[in-house]
Structure 1
């Protein structure tokens, strides 16, 4: 019996010794480790979003700013299992949603999320926020954060100019994480928001907080406030931008306005647009499908895309001919309604012809036959050289995202791309702005500005100042002259005389832009989209086969202060589709009477 008691005592002593040894190991050896771990679990670093800088028009009116917004985040470590479902049920009730759909959304968001917390709902209503905050004790793992949310006062009217922002995705985070980006950050996706991302983006702050077991903040230990991004003052006028957009109504196209004296942009509009706030809310599958299948391509900025310029390019053909001396302004060419080159017949837009026309008359009535013959005399080598010297075939220098260079075709290009030599008939097509030649509305505005200001080419610009949150100017910008047109003053005067005749002459193709008290100069353009064996009225063709309509204008013709290019995609004829829009805008501009909107 005594031996048995000794054995039991020995076993008990051994167990206690083991426990004491374990306790010693946990408290003394591993104590610092577990204390540090406990501290880490009770302290959390919260990233504080930095508001982006604002974008203002030349009047100081807001084009892009920030407004406070509430976002609901969920911590998957605390919201899981049956208890997690209970939390989601309470949330569904307060959000006015059914539990299954909310849970499904949560599971999808959790799977996609690369952060510790999952973003569940953005832009919460203030009443819902109050309900959630009042019941926070019953919602462990749920947190509401106040975020600066982008706000665009002009909405879709300035969509292509200003652009939009959206949250960074997992793929981008891997690439940009080392640059300080986090999973909840926003990126500029298009327009000015993308072009000036580094300027507009602020520097995030940090807050060290103490949290309880339910993840609720109990105390702020330390805080480093965020720094607001830099703001931009533009040369753009939001009144012009909105008026231009409204003029387009349901049409697709672009309107570019600039000051010919220094190249500053006054309006830079493409239609149709999309409400940029929709990118913050997100699109449903059906909504996005509708956007990308829209034949008017609301995602594309037509102001910087390249199209056949049609008869607006005849000014370049005339310039090259005058400078090379292949024609004189007074030389008349007979137009019977067509021009024969070998076996091919090139038709004038007026089938019965224009009769005898000189240079000024040819510009006024936009006679194709005249410019076919002049183009043949000039030749593609000279014509392409002049086109490039006028700024075509390369980006304008504005630096706008997605800007196209356009194409000035020549012999070398044809041989390289198609492996066949250039044909004379192709020169005739280029001479009237057809064939492989393409230009952007912005390029055309830049060119016309130089024609009417005496020959000085300016790189278009739209950023006037960059300043910090306190209003201190950090950078200031101005005109960027880049050379001259390859033309004498006499040549430019003749071109301007033709432009005035095109709007004010009895047979001018741009008569729809004529004003009573202000002398306007301009040129129409009708660019064929598909070849037709016989002439068919544009409105009788399917939308995507209709001609593009152009009109470029300047005013006052005596002392130009504004240049305007109107492009209507698949709009039909320049004289009937684009010129009237220019006339309406210029009337508002000089009368100072704008729509109340």
Structure 2
């Protein structure tokens, strides 16, 4: 009897286990697996969960491709479908089940969230029963029905403008003429003169008017032309098939005078798009190509408004997501357009650079590089011939000289004086005996000599600055010794990034490993390199009791920031400032040509020799930096290339004087 009971118990347990193994899947477990595949975006596997009726409406390929295309076109990210299993669910006992799920995702037009109900159908396939999703298009988005289409519309933002300190536009939004032709009406007789006026080749025009989208009588745009180019517009309109229309475009009112500073915009290239695609840029964008247009492109461009709609068959539209347009921000500079134009006009056709700051506040008032280029034409598009001419021009009009570092020549001497005074290597009163026009430390220098233009002996600091004595400052650097000299220059922010909004080359000291290099560096030769903005900043201690002021370019930056405190003592700053006034005021001073009656200028000249070795003939860059000692609100520096045989530093001295006369 016991054996029989035991046998029956084993059979009962086996039956229970067998029943457990053959248990049908529940609809909620089945739907959970479907949701998991959806979150992983495994659309091909999701299709296998569709009901028979759903599969009749859409093939696996159509199903998979539709999801992929929609998610790609709408730039869907952070995708999450959430389904919570109900605690009590008796739907497994029925033939149909229904559950709700929540969807959340980000798109090109912002967040998309919705709650939707899903129906599941019990079906028998291959002698097994299971649950299948009764899918329809509303699973993708609510109210998306068969035959509906998803549309994306964009609203372009207004690009922010670049303004000077007085709200004068340096880069503004305006209009140009878009020149085109009526398709099908361009004859061979018109083609040549049209190509010539538009600076295009006949083949380029033919390609445009035979594009696949072109139909007879349609307007085919060919090129944009400035509204100031009235004569050319008149000639174009005289050609019968030509038409013009006004379109929005970027305008640069100060033309070449501010081209290197402001830059220009142009159509984004494939390479640029690849680098910027993660920042919301598209193939239709115009972006900054140079200057501040490029530096501040993200702030200026703004963000397009985007709307995603479900377009119904009856013409109505349901908004799925919408992101409002954000216009670009205006960038207001400390630049004074009048000072900018005055410096540009005085530089004229010279190769060089000019800059101006307020030495008390650090506000940058002008940044000029010459020769320049036409930013309006650059925005409209240079022809191949125009672009080649710019690139082949020996004066390098595409080079932004105010960002580059150059040998400063004798404008370096006040800095050397400040370092040497601080180290105790020199005193203002000590007169140094200097005989002749050339000098060397000892015979170890071989045939190398430091030379000077003005004679006289003995020479103190005042005379050395007034007459720009190379030998005096070479000896001062040697007495300071290389480590103290280098440390002194670093206090003036040499070898440091200036943290200026417009990227500038770093001012460098170079090697001081030999006495000759140290001596030459004392008067601005050797391997010393400075940008013109840094040069201006190094002169600010002479009007700020020894404090070096940080140059700023944006109007909302704090004024009067101390970049380096007490780089020179107030006493020594006063001594050097007094001597710089005499450089201009004394009849024998190297900058006396800059003297203006009733307007006391102080300053320093410089002539930097560009050559490989002593004894050979090289080129010369002329420098001058000046400021008003009584009202030090304007400090101007200028460098002119190739001044040899033309008066050296006298060239920029006269030009800077005219700038002060114009804008004081």
1:151-230 pair list within 5 angstroms: 151-206=251-306, 226-230=325-329
CA offset digits 1:483-535 (Å, max 9, x no partner): 32422111111111210111111210011111111111000010000156558
Match of 1:54 in 2: 161
Q: 1:332 pairs with 431, 439, 456, which one?
A: 431
Task: Report how far residue 260 of structure 1 moved.
Answer: 1.1
Name which one, 1 or 2, has greater alpha-carbon Rg: 2
Pick which of 195-204 and 99-108 moved more.
99-108
Find the residue that maps to 2:338 and give its secondary structure: helix
Match of 1:435 in 2: 526
Pick which of 201-210 and 319-328 moved more.
201-210
Closer/same/farther in 2, CA of residues 369 and 26 from structure 1, 3 Å limit: closer
Which one has a larger percent helix, Structure 1 or Structure 2?
1
User: Using the alignment, how far apart are the partners of 1:154 and 1:526 within structure 2?
Assistant: 31
Closer/same/farther in 2, CA of residues 311 and 89 from structure 1, 3 Å limit: same
Match of 1:4 in 2: none
Find the residue that maps to 2:487 and give its secondary structure: helix
Task: Report how far residue 177 of structure 1 moved.
Answer: 2.6
Find the residue that maps to 1:357 and give its secondary structure: coil
Task: Report how far residue 346 of structure 1 moved.
Answer: 1.8
CA offset digits 1:179-205 (Å, max 9, x no partner): 221212011122211221121112213
CA offset digits 1:543-580 (Å, max 9, x no partner): xx42011111111x134222111111223455311111
Give the aligned CA root-mean-square deviation in angstroms: 3.9
1:384·1:409 contact (CA, 8 Å) conserved in 2? no
CA offset digits 1:46-68 (Å, max 9, x no partner): 43322211111111111111124
Task: Report how far residue 38 of structure 1 moved.
Answer: 6.6
Find the residue that maps to 2:555 and give its secondary structure: strand
CA offset digits 1:95-114 (Å, max 9, x no partner): 9847962455439999xxxx
Closer/same/farther in 2, CA of residues 511 and 228 from structure 1, 3 Å limit: same
Match of 2:494 in 1: 392
1:340·1:346 contact (CA, 8 Å) conserved in 2? yes
User: Using the alignment, how far apart are the partners of 1:39 and 1:121 within structure 2?
Assistant: 37
Task: Report how far residue 309 of structure 1 moved.
Answer: 0.5
Q: 1:274 pairs with 373, 378, 387, which one?
A: 373
User: Using the alignment, how far apart are the partners of 2:633 and 2:187 within structure 1?
Assistant: 59
1:174-323 pair list within 5 angstroms: 174-206=274-306, 226-323=325-422
Q: 2:622 pairs with 549, 553, 556, which one?
A: 549
Match of 1:341 in 2: 441
2:643·2:649 contact (CA, 8 Å) conserved in 1? no
User: Using the alignment, how far apart are the partners of 2:357 and 2:146 within structure 1?
Assistant: 63
User: Using the alignment, how far apart are the partners of 2:146 and 2:402 within structure 1?
Assistant: 58
Closer/same/farther in 2, CA of residues 288 and 530 from structure 1, 3 Å limit: same
1:187·1:197 contact (CA, 8 Å) conserved in 2? yes
User: Using the alignment, how far apart are the partners of 2:353 and 2:58 within structure 1?
Assistant: 73
Task: Report how far residue 250 of structure 1 moved.
Answer: 0.4
User: Using the alignment, how far apart are the partners of 2:495 and 2:210 within structure 1?
Assistant: 47
User: Using the alignment, how far apart are the partners of 2:404 and 2:58 within structure 1?
Assistant: 70
CA offset digits 1:5-24 (Å, max 9, x no partner): xxxxxxxxxxxxxxxxxxx9
User: Using the alignment, how far apart are the partners of 2:187 and 2:371 within structure 1?
Assistant: 37
Match of 2:110 in 1: none
Closer/same/farther in 2, CA of residues 319 and 224 from structure 1, 3 Å limit: closer
Find the residue that maps to 2:367 and give its secondary structure: strand
User: Using the alignment, how far apart are the partners of 1:193 and 1:380 within structure 2?
Assistant: 42
1:511·1:575 contact (CA, 8 Å) conserved in 2? no
Q: Say whether residues 1:521 and 2:616 are aligned partners.
A: no
Pick which of 363-372 and 455-464 moved more.
455-464
1:363-442 pair list within 5 angstroms: 363-401=465-503, 403-411=504-512, 422-442=513-533
Give the TM-score normalised by the residue count of structure 1. Answer: 0.74
Q: Say whether residues 1:503 and 2:589 are aligned partners.
A: no
User: Using the alignment, how far apart are the partners of 1:103 and 1:207 within structure 2?
Assistant: 36
Count of residues in Structure 1 that have an aligned counterpart in Structure 2? 496
